[in-house]
Structure 1
Amino acid sequence: MRPFDYKLIHALDTVIQQQSFEKAATALNITQSAISQRIKQLEQQVAKPLLIRDQPLRVTETGEKMLSHFRKIRQLEYDLASEIMPQDNNATLPIHIAVNADTLASWLIPAIRAVLSKFPIELNLQVANESSTQDLLKKGQVFAAVSSQKKSFAGVKVTPIGTIDYILCASPNFIKRFFANGITKDSLAKAPSIDYDQRDTMHSDYLKAHFNVRRGSYPCHRIGSSEVVVTMALADLAYGLIPTTQANEHIQSGALVDLKPNDHLPMPMYWHSWALERGIQKQMSNAIVEYGRKNFKPIL
């Protein structure tokens, strides 16, 4: 088998990152036709399609494996250059991480601030539900993922970050309007709730477990923003589950009320990362795990 020409895989990776043949050509300082030719050569070598020319541009399963391998190789090259030629290594290192929206909105940046300040990093964050972020890791799109799932797959190590409680919250005015006589099936059928998106079942699972209320039997906003969940709750427009990392300050100020103080929803969080990580990626992993151990409850 012929060895891979990594400039061909680099072309594929750049097209996916830029989501444009034209922008990828500019980034690599070659023509757009040269980009297409490189990807075609690579597809001919493996005798399989690698790029799905759709919107958004995405790779096939074989393409995912190739990009995963390529990004690991780039990390190893960067680390080697840093060790043997530190004075000449001025290149930035792309760091791809999958996170859930609540993590991104609250604690991720404080956790990795020191690493971002110390090294020339290009941070690329992909946001997904906390139960599915590791799918992006499996596809090779990221080197690590914050996930609520403990189990992973070969080539990945899993480290506990900690447990974050989710609190069912509403503003005092919202409570007066909808829950003046308590939280019941009747009041829940009228009170607007809020989810992150259609795939987020955390809120509906919680209502089913604690109030025997099924999804679809109550009004629910779906807005795709963790920050807006808090904003709408503060604006007396909805109630919902908010992590302590975002809710505590508002509960302490009285702007939000804990509707079920004895029934918080514990969410264990794990850090999934390449088993062979080293260098900057390892420092990134260490920073996130250490932050969790200092600021969150241990996973039971």
Structure 2
Amino acid sequence: MKDVTQLDPVALRTLATSVRLGTFEAAARELHVTPSAVSQRIKALEARVGRVLLHRVKPLEPTEAGHVLVRLAAQTELLEREAVSELVEDEPDSTSYTSIPLAVNSDVLYGWLVDALVAVQDQHRVVFEVIRDDQSRTAARLRRGEVMAAITSEPKPVPGCRVVRLGRLRYTAVTTPEFHDRHFADGVNATSLAAARMVAFDRADTLQHDFVRRVTRKHLAPPTTYIPSVREFDSAVRRGMGWGMLMAHEAEADLAAGRLVELVPGRRNDVALFWQHWRLGSAAMADLTDAVVRAAQEWLSA
């Protein structure tokens, strides 16, 4: 077995930059070297570990071994930048900030995540790159080393990560009284659900289809409008474009006032959410975890 200790940090950074930007040429521009130098660094790293690290396609795709080293490179950079930030914390003009990429779902981003991020920026010299994705897919980004932490529906820890349960997002299937009278006068069943217009966030959003399967025990394909914005999705349902799953606490007042009606009264769909983050001795990550957990406790069901 090869001795893979003391990996070249420059080569690790080159690998991570190449994966992030997708080509050797783009990585070379950012690193101020030639594409040939980028290629040679990665070849030397592959020789060092005895594994192919990249699929040479466009955009570049890391192999399983490549994912491991991309994650290592990002972890190393986080700790280095955090250390530098501590060294220059008394220099107000310094631009040395730690960048923390996160993957989260839209409802969390819309609801409470920014509160947690602001709290961390009050304590640390950090900036964030927030990547929006469905909660069923954010763990995959963490696994690939694209982000350092994620809010996910996956309870099983990604290798090298810790998991904290945050709580549940509770949804209810609603529509306007007029839409309900027009499409569900004979009941909410396989026939009516197959024909009635549905609103979904995007093609990764399975909430509505999950509800249909639970009610009918069938896989149906209703006519669907996709609205990839929390605010506009909410507006589309409230304006009668179709039925959709709204966060229960957001719909309560309109349900009580009769402006919305539930398709199946009392039927709620819960999505358990978990915070997964890299196992690092990072003060910023520890404080971010604490802030996320506190903010979630104020918004989510237990």
Q: Which amino acid aligns with 2:43?
A: K
Distance 1:113 1:249 in 2: 29
Which residue matches 2:199?
194
Name the % identity: 28
Which residue of structure 1 aligns with residue 290 of structure 2?
286
Match status 1:86 vs 2:84: no
Q: CA deviation at 1:84?
A: 4.4
Q: Does 1:232 align with 2:242?
A: no
Deviations 1:118-142 (A, max 9, x none): 5443422333332332222223222
Structure 1 equivalent of residue 110 of structure 2: 105
Q: CA shift at 1:116, angstroms? A: 4.0
- Conservation of the 8 A alpha-carbon contact between 1:98 and 1:146: yes
Report the secondary structure of 2:170's partner residue: strand
Distance 1:226 1:47 in 2: 46
Alpha-carbon separation, structure 2, partners of 1:17 and 1:245: 38
TM-score w.r.t. length of structure 1? 0.84
Q: Give runs of aligned pairs for residues 114-153 of structure 1, distance below 5 A.
A: 114-116=119-121, 119-153=124-158
Residue 204 of structure 1 aligns with an amino acid whose one-letter code is H
Q: Tell me what 1:215 maps to.
A: 219
Q: Which amino acid in the other structure matches residue 288 of structure 1?
A: V
Which residue does the alignment assign to 1:48?
Answer: 51
Q: CA deviation at 1:254?
A: 6.4
Aligned partner of 2:117: which letter? I
Residues 190, 290 of structure 1: alpha-carbon distance in 2 compared, 3 angstrom cutoff: same
Residue in 2 aligned with 1:69? 72
Describe the superposition over 1:139-162 as per-residue Cα deviations: whole angstroms up to 9, x where unpaired: 322221111232324532221212
Distance 1:250 1:231 in 2: 13
2:62 aligned with 1:59: yes
Code of the residue aligned with 2:274 in structure 1: it is Y
* Partner AA of 1:99 in structure 2: V
Q: Tell me the distance in 2 between the aligned counterparts of 1:154 and 1:18.
A: 24
Could you tell me the TM-score, scaled by structure 2's length? 0.84
The corresponding residue for 2:208 is: 203
Match of 2:247 among 231, 240, 243: 243
Structure 1 residues 80 and 137, CA gap change in structure 2 (3 angstroms): same
Residue 41 of structure 1 deviates from its aligned partner by: 2.4
Shift of 1:255: 5.6
State yes or no: 1:162 paired with 2:167. Answer: yes
1:1-59 alpha-carbon deviations (Å, 9 max, x no partner)? 36211111111211222334343323222233332332232223223322223343321
Structure 1 unmatched runs, 5+: none
**Shift of residue 96, structure 1, vs aligned partner:** 1.7
Aligned length: 297
2:12 matched to which residue of 1?
9
CA distance in 1, matches of 2:122, 2:239: 35
Aligned amino acid, residue 83 of structure 2: L
252, 263, 269: which is aligned to 2:267?
Answer: 263
2:277 is aligned to: 273
How much does 1:226 deviate? 4.5
Q: In structure 2, give the amino acid aligned to 1:59.
A: P
1:295 corresponds in structure 2 to 299
Counterpart of 1:66 in structure 2: which amino acid? L
Which runs of 5 or more residues in structure 2 are unaligned?
none
CA RMSD of aligned residues (A): 2.9
Q: Which runs of 4+ in 1 moved over 6 A?
A: none
